[in-house]
Each structure stands twice: as C-alpha cells, then as structure tokens.
Structure 1
Amino acid sequence: MSERASEPSTRSEVVDRSCARTRSWTDEAMRRVQADANRSADTHLHVVDLPAEWGVHLYLKDESVHPTGSLKHRLARSLFLYALASGWITRTTTVVEASSGSTAVSEAYFARLIGVPFVAVMPRTTSPEKVALIEREGGRCHFVERGPDVYAEAENLARECGGHYMDQFTYAERATDWRGNNNIAESILAQLGDEPYPVPEWIVVGAGTGGTSATVGRYLRYRRLPTRLAVVDPENSAYFPGWASGAHDYATGMPSRIEGIGRPRMEPSFVPDVIDVMVPVPDAASVAAVRHLHDLTGRWAGGSTGTNLWGVWQLIAGMLRDGRRGSVVTLICDGGERYRHSYFDDGWVASHGMDLAPYRRTIDRFLDSGVWEAPA
C-alpha cells in the first residue's frame, strides 16, 4: 500500500493523503512514548542541610533517576512526541541527531522503544563510555573529525537516508509545553507545595540546548511568580557572553569540557530574555563543586551539576547578605558514574590543567561562615 494517495484526476476531487496503516503505527508509537512517562514517578526533590540560622532551604531536583539517567530523558521524550505529532517520524524513518552526550543516549532509548533506527553524529573524541551507552540502547554512532561539523553532517546524513534530523538545538524550546503538562518547572513548584517556602527565590539551571531554561523562564512568567531564573555557563560557551552583550549570533567555536551544557554558538532554542541572571563558572569550580557534593551528601553527579551548585552558593550568599530567607532549587542533571574517568579522576583533572583547591576552599569557607570569598 502506498503511503501517498494517488494524484486526483480533476481539481474538484477531494484529496485524501492519509493512510490508516501509517496513522495506526503513529498512534501506537505515541502510546509507547506516553506510557514511558506514565510508568515513571516524578523525580525526587532532595533537601541539602544548611545552617538553620540562615533560613535558606536548598533543594536538588534529581533528574539522574530517569530511565536513561539524565535530564535529557525529558527532552528526548518531548522531541519524539513533537516529531510524531508533526508526522516527521514514520515506521520507516531513521532518526538522526547531532549529539555525543546524554541527549543521544535518551533519543536512542526512545527510538528503540518505537522500533526505528537511530544514528548519533558526534566527534571522534567522544568517550568510549558515552559511545557504549548509546550503542547499548540500540543506536549507531557516526563520527566526524571536528566538533562544529556535527550539525551539517547530521542534516546531510538524514537527507541521504530519507530520515529525520531531530535537531535538538532548534526544537528543544518548542517541543516542551512550557505552560504545564508536567514540565520540569511545574513539577518543581508542585513538589514545593508543602515546604516552608513553596515559591522559591531562585531556580538555577545550565543551558545546553537552551530548552530547560526557556521552559522554566516562560513558566515562571506564565504563573506570574516572583521566582528568578539564574543560568550558569561553563568556560568556552557562547551563552554568557552572547547574553551579556545582546549578540544573538555570538560564537566561540570552542567545545565545553562540562558535558551537557555550554555551546560554541548561540543555539536557536536559547531564549535569553527569560533569564534574570547569568553566572559564568570556571570549569575547575564545576568539578570542585560536584566533588564537594559527593563528600557532603554521598550523591554522585556530573559536572553540570557542579556548575549549578557553584552558582547556587553565590546566590545564597547574596540572600544572606541581604537578610532574605527562602528556598533555592537546582538540578542534579545526570549521575556521576559515567564521569568517573573524568571529573572524579585526579589524573584527568591534572591533565586538563585544573587546580581544584582554591574553589574547594571557597565552598568550605562559605558553608562554615556564610560569607562568599572569591577564589584567589
């Protein structure tokens, strides 16, 4: 049976391009993706103990408990639902994405769930651990020599095989329903409902595609909440300088060492006008902060969680200076087990020229005194 209706013999005939078999497959694919969400309880909101006299409550939204182990599980689910609803993925479609990280792992999972092939286009320098995670979910890895080439290569590959280029960096901000429907911002506010400060002073996130910050910022405005959105940004990323200068085409051309956040260019899904504050974070500070989190709580997390926390400590210090009480929420973006070869390995840290000691001393002094002193 042809997927396309035959051409009408006259202009007066009704054209019916639908196909019951195609719609039936799409309905089943939609059911499988939506069932994944129904099977998953909401992610936990952990409390971090701070001195009671501060009057500040810190919460970590633990996105590492998703089936694919990261915040990107939400994004991948939304991207697949959006593409299926738009008719871009059918039973014969190969899904292609430009990603070497957690998004590719999560998209490979959903491609396997609905029974379509998945190809992740990534730099050849991608860690073997990430490649193994993608392949374990049934995906195929396609390598390029230079990181900036992933976009064009993914688009060309999708065109050549008649597939669909998912393009997370364009569609992340529009695939997620920012008005609600269990997006991450709605989930955070619901979970805080019975806490001492149910409307937080700050929500702190990083920007990879820009989809999470866009969703949170829009939702806060939609609900008319006073909560402010802070976005943290690692070294080499274009987001902070682009946001600060107002240059929407800002580019550094350099990759981030903090996986999952930071981009060499301002991506289409990044929405700067919903952000109240951006905090540039040295990579060594990100690593020191995530290691400190493990020492403090026993929780393993990735480097982007450390970036979040470095921004959190500075914002809480500002609250203490101003005599403000309230709550602050940030994310555990992914688990740290997949980074034991890097952020938690002293040899890797040394090979990248990072000195963590000054940043660790700053965190320790702050939690002991409540006073923030920038690293020497």
Structure 2
Amino acid sequence: MVVTPLREVPLPPEWGIGLSLKDESAQPSGSVKHRLLRAAFVQALAAGQITEGGTVVMASAGPAAVAGAYFARMLGLDFVVVVPRSTRPEKVAAIEAAGGRCHPYHPPAAIYQEARRLAADTGGFHLDHFAAAHAIDWRGVTSTDGVRGGKVTGGGHAGDGSAGYGDGVFRGGDVRGGAVEGGAGGGHIAGEIFEQLGRSPEWIVAGAGTGATSATIGRFLRYHGYETRLAVADPENSAYFPGWASGVSDYATGMPSRIEGIGRPRMEPGFLPSAIDLVVPVPDAAAVGALAHLRALTGIAAGGSTGTCLWAAWRLIDRMRAEGRRGDVVVVMGDAGAAPVLDGDAYAAAIGRFLETGSLDVPQ
C-alpha cells in the first residue's frame, strides 16, 4: 500500500498554523481517483462482474480514466474509455499511456450512455465510477470479503462476496504490491493524514468530482468522532455549492466545470452534503493564481483542482487567524495536470501580501 506524502507549504511560524498538501498524485497511477478505482475494481471482481480477459468500459476524460486504465492493465483487461471528442490530446495520451483505449464521442453529455451501449455490445462490464463512489470503505478498515492479500480468492458465486474464478488470480493480474490489496478502501486517506501529522488537523480541504473523496473523509471523521472539519472547494459552474447551500439534492447548473476532475453540472449521488461542514465557492482565476503562487513559493507544480482547494485553504487560514485559532489545514492535492488559461495574477499577489501582512484581501 502506497502512503502518499504530505508536502508542507511554509507559513509564518508566529501564526501557529500549518498548511500541508496530501499529494495523491504520488499514487502509482498518478491519479487522485486511485483509491476509488481500486475499490471499484475489487468490488466488481468480488461480485463476478469482471471476467478474465474481458473488457471494461467507462466514460470519463479525467483522473478516473487514468486510474481505471492502470488497474485494468494490471489485471490483463481490455479497457475502453469513452471521452468527449473535445478532450485535450495530452489527456488522451495519458489515458493511453496507462493502458486504456479512447473512444471519442459527441456530444459530451452523451458519453455515459455511449459507454453503457459499448459495454452491452461487447459483452463487457460498464464501470460507472459515479455509482461506485460508495465502494470505498469510509471506516478505514477492510470490508470486502473474498479478497485477501491482493488476490481474488476462488470458488464463489457472483454476488456472494467472492469471485468464483477457480484459483482466483487472473493470469498477469495478481494485484499485489500496493494495488488492490486489503479489500475495498485499503489505506484510508484521512487515516494517513492523521498518522502523518501526529495530531488532528483543524480542516481537511478536498475537491468534489464524483463526491467519493469528500464523502469518504467526512464519514471517517464522524465515525471516529474527530473534531476535524471538512471543507469542499467548488469551482465555477458546479452544482455542489448551490446544491449544498440550498439543500436541493437534485440541483443542476447545466454548465460544465473548467477545472479538470472536480465540479459537476449536477449533484452526483456520491456527493454527501451531510458529511461536509463547509463548501467554498472558488473563482477559477483564484485557482490559477493559487497555483502560480504555490509554484513560486515551493516549486510544486500542481493542477487546477489543487489550485481550487488551495484558494479555499487560504480563505480558511484567514478565518482561523481572525478567530485566534491555531492548528493545521490539509489540502488533498489531486492532480498535476493543466489548469485553465486565465489571469490569476491578482489572486497570486493577494496570497503574497497575506503572508507578509497577515490580512487576506480578496480581489473583487
């Protein structure tokens, strides 16, 4: 099991506040969706939904596709990803480098229907990573029977928690060594944060795409009785902030997010508002500015979803200072990919002044 690193962002020591990045891009697949897709594959294996040498089809052009391709290749499976025809060439290249085959389709809103059709036509398994958002064990313990030490134990029937593949291991698909061992969930991201810090952070900040990461962290915090609060950073055009604020579970904006991997035009079933303490709406330009400042300060190159979360973290740190609170803020660093081409200079400058003066002036 890979324990991803915490990367410290230096703050004035007299503040008594720590800022760290939980670098999920350090996963073997390089994807923040690594834990989710690992859990989804384990669940499908245990239910007998994936067959040896078979085909797995999913619809995504984000980090989930890269993680899915990684696990499919490990298991010797054909992996087809339905992507919008407008997907950037570098993202297609990343999916293909991980072992996937891209199937461009238009319009973008219909890629999910096309993935279901392809799976049905090929006799493959449709991996719906939005529906699989609850596959991760949020308690931080192993819950999937039939999976031991990274292998699928044999002899069972689909649906009874075992895989039913005789000796239980696909040829070339012995998924040990930090891949899918330990059942659905494996190492828990929040549990790792607590162990690495050696104390409870004041805030954990995450983005929301499927909603799986935030739901998993929020449930973990409540199950174990931690006082740590969870904030979700939400980009422009996303339904999560207005849906959370209004309590409307089917809220929709009908507009796509410009930040890769997070933000959705509708509230997804994996998003759990009751497990979240705060949703912070973040201008896309603020995400770009936060990334530019991060790189100048630390040399860390990150992507748009990390920038979105980082700006939310700066807002929370400003609030902590105003309230006289000390403690840690941990940002889930979800990607190392590209960010939108926007002018974020005003936001980068505001962060720089904040570190000098202790006062965050938000650009208008």
1:136 maps to which residue?
97
- TM-score (structure 1 length as normaliser): 0.83
Question: Aligned equivalents of 1:241 and 1:161: distance in 2?
Answer: 39
Which of 332, 343, 349 matches 1:361?
349
- TM-superposition CA deviations, 1:200-253 (whole Å, max 9, x none): 110000001100000000000011011110000001111111111111111122
Q: Partner of 2:195 in structure 1?
A: 190
Unmatched 5+ residue regions in structure 1? 1-36, 344-348
Q: Which residue of 2 aligns with 1:79?
A: 40
Distance across 2 between alignment mates of 1:246 and 1:144: 34
C-alpha separation in 2, matches of 1:63 and 1:161: 33
- CA distance in 2: counterparts of 1:163 and 1:271, whole angstroms: 30
| Contact 1:147-1:255 within 8 A present in 2 as well | no
| 2:31–2:66 Cα contact (<8 Å) kept | no
Please say if residues 54 and 320 of structure 1, whose CA atoms lie closer than 8 Å, have aligned partners that are also in contact.
yes
Q: Measure the CA separation in 1 of the matches of 2:251 and 2:14.
A: 43
Which residue in 2 is equivalent to 1:177? 137
Post-superposition offset of 1:54? 0.5
Residue 263 of structure 2: aligned partner = 262
1:27-66 to structure 2, matched below 5 A, reads 37=1, 40=2, 42-66=3-27
Residue aligning to 2:157: none
| Contact residue 287 and residue 344 of structure 2 kept, 8 A | no
The residue number in structure 2 matching 1:11 is none
Structure 2 residue aligned with 1:70: 31
2 CA distance for matches of 1:183 and 1:158? 31
* Structure 2: runs of 5 or more not aligned: 142-186
* RCO comparison, higher one (Cα < 8 Å, 6+): 2
Contact 1:279–1:311 (8 Å) recurs in 2: yes
Is the Cα contact below 8 Å between 1:234 and 1:256 reproduced in 2?
Answer: yes
Distance apart, 1:92 and its partner CA: 4.1
Farther-moved stretch of structure 1 (326-335 vs 224-233): 326-335
Q: Does 1:157 align with 2:162?
A: no
Q: Which whole-Å CA distance do the structure 2 matches of 1:358 and 1:213 have between them?
A: 29
Aligned to 2:328: 327
Which amino acid in the other structure matches residue 167 of structure 1? D
Structure 2 matches for 1:216-231, cutoff 5 A?
Answer: 216-231=217-232
2-structure distance, mates of 1:144, 1:177: 33
Aligned residue number for residue 310 of structure 2? 309
Q: What amino acid maps onto 2:210 in structure 1?
A: T
Q: Give the structure with higher Rg (CA).
A: 1
> Contact 2:239–2:251 (CA<8 Å) still a contact in 1?
yes
Extract structure 1 runs of 4+ deviating beyond 6 A.
none
| Greater mean deviation of Cα atoms: 45-54 or 304-313 | 45-54
> Which SS does the other structure have where 1:150 is aligned?
helix
Q: Which residue of 2 aligns with 1:90?
A: 51
- Report which of the two has the higher share of helix: 1
RMSD: 1.2
